[in-house]
Amino acid sequence: MKHLIITALLFITTNLIAQNKCEYSTNVSDSIGSYKSTIEYMISEKNFGGNTSYIFYSLVSTDGMPTLNVQLIQKSKEFMKANCFDKNSKLFLQLNNGKIITLLHIDQESCGSLIRDDKGFDNRFLSGSFMFMKDSFEELKNSPVSMMRIKYLTDTEDHIIKKEFLSELNNQIYKPENYFIDNLHCIE
């Protein structure tokens, strides 16, 4: 029994130490309500043939309702097709334990915006907010993510989620497969 209690305390202490410190871009509470958003975290980076794309996540809690904000950025001198989010858009996360978690897009249509920079590149920005389904938190806290599927208005895209990568954009190391394990506690 004593061994069981020591093991449990060691497990709890290890988990508390292992959790990342929460960094917020916004953390506001007032008489109207509360809103907090974690800083954006790069989940995917692709550079190929003059085309670049990035996917960033941030977790948001609005009056206790958790959502996942997804920002997609594309940069190219070639034609880029516009992907749009609508009320039927979804984000599917396949976990290493085989389970699939579905997040639903909020009922707000968005096709993003296109901006041409001074070097002749077109830059497309698309953001979407996705709601967590009931009971998905526990699964996301306990298993790394191996794949992400984004269902747009007219298309579907799959992204393999890496264990770790060194970003060419900022030379920073990212560990996207453990994003939810490391950060969900920040919005609970």
Domain extents in the chain: 34-187
Q: Please give the pLDDT value at position 138.
A: 92
Q: Please give the pLDDT value at position 26.
A: 93
What is the spatial distance between Cα 160 and Cα 177, in angstroms, rounded to a whole number? 9
3-state secondary structure of 172: coil
Check residues 131 and 16 and name the one with the higher pLDDT.
131
Q: What is the pLDDT of residues 86-95, one digit of tens each?
A: 999 999 999 9
Q: Give the distance, in angstroms, between the CA of residue 134 and the centroid of all CA atoms in the same chain.
A: 18
Residues 6+ apart with CB under 8 A from 90: 102, 103, 104, 105, 130, 150, 151
Q: Please give the pLDDT value at position 173.
A: 97
Closest CA to 105 of 82, 127, 87: 87
pLDDT category at 123 given cuts 50, 70, 90 is: very high
pLDDT category at 19 given cuts 50, 70, 90 is: low
Check residues 19 and 48 and name the one with the higher pLDDT.
48
Mean pLDDT of 41-64: 95
179 phi/psi in degrees, rounded to 5: -55, -50
Q: Please give the pLDDT value at position 13.
A: 42
What is the spatial distance between Cα 75 and Cα 53, in angstroms, rounded to a whole number? 6
Q: Please give the pLDDT value at position 16.
A: 43
pLDDT beyond 90 at 11: no
Mean pLDDT of 88-107: 96
Q: Please give the pLDDT value at position 8.
A: 39
What token pair was written down for 58?
């941030």
What is the spatial distance between Cα 57 and Cα 15, in angstroms, rounded to a whole number? 23
What token pair was written down for 164?
């770790």
